[in-house]
Chains A and B, each alone.
Chain A
Amino acid sequence: MPKAVKGVLVECDESIRAIILKIDAVNHDFIIEDLDDRTLVVKETKLPELKRRLEEELRDTQDEPKDSGSERD
């Protein structure tokens, strides 16, 4: 008999998956199943937190263009 596990299927880029794996590596409490290099299943209750953490990570890694950049072009 097969097993059915409740969760959230997350489809993303490989780079994003790498970050999710890194976030999960601390406590192993996000990922239920690592399916392939673009797909994961995570816990539904953890999704909002994962989104927030992901955005935090990205904020640190990305150089965002300044808002006033094209102001006086």
Chain B
Amino acid sequence: MSASSLRSFEYLESLPGRDFKRLYQRPSTALAIFRRMLPHLAKTFVMAMLYITDPLTLSELELWVRPDSKRHVLHVIMPAKEYALSLLSRLHILNTSSVPGQGQVLSLTNDFATSLRLSLTGGGHHQSFGVPCDTPDRHKASLESLDAFARSQWEGILHYMVDTAGVGMQDGGEGPSHGVKKLLELGGLVQMKGSYATITQAGFSFLLQEVNAQVWTLLLFYLDSAEALNMDKVDVLHFLFMLGSLELGQDYSLATLTATQIQMLEDLRDFGIVYQRKPSSKRFYPTRLATTLTSDAGALRSVNAGFDNALRSGDGKGFIVIETNYRIYAYTSSPLQIAVLNLFAKLETRFPNMVSGRISRKSIRVAIHMGITSDQIISYLTTHAHPQMRKNVPILPPTVVDQIRLWQIEGERMKPTVGYLFKDFASGQEYEGICKYAEEVGVLVWKNDAKRMFFVTRVEQVKKFLENKAKSAAAGANGG
């Protein structure tokens, strides 16, 4: 699962239960969450229970799962079943209750099940999948013009961020709107220093993500700020999920949108997510950025590739060639891509269709100093490798990859951990008890039995433990 959907998860999970209830009243939202957010096993569970009216017992559900299946979640391996179930209940899709004699029984929450059924089989007057305009548009927007619009808006935003790094590329457009700039600052992607914006560490990670992840990141910032603007975030989410189910090239009517959503259109236009010929227009077109919002991970790559192709005027996805002597050739004329490359490579010559340069210890150290990690650089080079490079296994020369990693490690001469040092224990017994407790609650990072000292990352639990111990010791002394 991509990082973007993980982040949108975390956001959703933080919502209170009543917001979920309202969210799931829209079939488009239920469908979007189903297809984008759930792992396959969770989808299987939902489908199994969707048309069953009686609750299912946990043991019946277990028949669906191979006991040895595991899932990697952020480097932690979890049994697939537990992961799916806990996710479903955190997203308020699953109700768990225990019935005497049967153990735990599971059922889908009503709102979610009803909406998902409606979205799969149709029917109802919810109009949550958008209403196409019934009159033809005299100035119909073509697919190419929509792509061009989305590209210029989105690249404008990225460019604004890169420019802040002092790369000093020429910018053709006038840059993003004031609202977008404000949002980038609120999200911590850029930092205002006087009247200048400078890019932050988070901003760099943002730049190196794929487009879909970037869009979601920005939209989540938008959701956060929407509350401050008195916009209803459930309304905002409904609209975003609806956009994900719209068809590219079709114009949709504003008639079914709420006031909040019409207000949003202006901002989404700035992002390049929707297109309107003029602000007073009674119709809007979703762009490719919108229609790929909630595609599932598999579809995403191909759609994204389609967008990349559209963005990069034809010549395939990859454009970077890197040789074992650290020379780098990039077949691109996009100022944005050149600017990104310039963050970690020293560019020397520029031709109409390509730039060349080299990666050096210095250029990588500069990048790392700005907060880019070696892994980000390597993954950027890998995803944008030229088709000719892709014939190699592995794609990038191993010497270069290793060297980039080494250049990073070189700077990490020490490993700092913030926390508390415990010392001056009265007895070995006291030391051992507390140290053991710290280890059990998972805060211990270093200990030395001979010196009777240990270091913990968090102090609260250990303090509590000490206080309780002191109390019980006092009570014991009083009693005895």
Contacts and interface: CB of A to CB of B under 8 A. Distances in A.
Contact of A10 (B326, B415, B423): B415
Interface string B386-426: 00000000000000000000000001011111111111111
Interface in A9-63: 9-13, 16, 20, 32-33, 35-36, 39, 41, 44, 47, 51, 54-55, 58
A12 B448 contact: no
Given A11-B417, A13-B413, A70-B325, A35 B451 contact: yes
Nearest to A6: B420
A8 B361 contact: no
A58 B413 contact: yes
Contacts of A67: 346, 360-362
A47 B426 CA distance: 31
Contact of A7 (B415, B419, B430, B463): B419
Contact of B325 (A4, A11, A73): A73
B358 to A, nearest CB: 8
A8 B453 contact: no
B459 interface: yes
Contacts of B448: 35-36
A1 B414 contact: no
A12 B332 CA distance: 43
B416 A10 contact: yes
B361 A65 contact: yes
A55 B233 CA distance: 47
Contacts of B423: 2-3, 5, 33
Task: Pick the most buried of B415, B417, B445, B455: most chain A CB atoms within 10 A of its CB.
Answer: B455
A21 to B, nearest CB: 13
B434 interface: yes
B430 A2 contact: yes
A3 B419 contact: no
B64 interface: no
Contacts of A6: 419-420
B11 interface: no
B297 interface: no
A11 B415 CA distance: 5
Nearest to A4: B420
A8 B414 CA distance: 11
Given A64-B361, A65-B361, A2 B417 contact: no
B455 A41 contact: yes
A1 B419 contact: no
Contact of A54 (B360, B414, B421, B455): B414
B361 A33 contact: no
Given A16-B413, A35-B446, A7 B362 contact: no
Contacts of A47: 416
Contacts of B414: 10-12, 16, 20, 51, 54
B419 A9 contact: yes
A33 B421 contact: yes
A39 B446 contact: yes
A3 B414 CA distance: 25
B417 A8 contact: yes
Given A35-B451, A44-B418, A65-B361, A9 B446 contact: yes
Q: Determine which residue in B325, B411, B414, B418 has the highest number of CB atoms from chain A within 10 A of its CB, and name it.
A: B414
Contacts of A4: 420-422, 459, 462-463
B470 interface: yes
A2 B451 CA distance: 13
Nearest to B411: A55
Of the candidates B416, B424, B431, the one having the most CB atoms from chain A within 10 angstroms of its own CB is B416
A3 B424 CA distance: 6
- The CB with the most chain A CB atoms within 10 A, among B325, B413, B453, B459, is that of B413
A65 B463 CA distance: 50
A13 to B, nearest CB: 7
A12 B131 CA distance: 62
Contacts of B325: 70, 73
Contacts of B422: 2-5
Given A9-B446, A67-B362, A1 B470 contact: yes
A2 B415 contact: no
Contacts of B358: 71
A41 B415 CA distance: 11
7 contacts: A2-B422, A2-B466, A8-B418, A9-B417, A9-B418, A35-B448, A54-B414
Given A4-B420, A35-B453, A36-B448, 20 more contacts: A2-B430, A2-B431, A2-B466, A5-B423, A6-B420, A7-B421, A8-B416, A8-B417, A8-B418, A9-B418, A9-B445, A10-B414, A11-B417, A12-B414, A12-B415, A33-B421, A47-B416, A67-B361, A70-B325, A71-B358
Interface of A: 1-13, 16, 20, 32-33, 35-36, 39, 41, 44, 47, 51, 54-55, 58, 64-65, 67, 70-71, 73
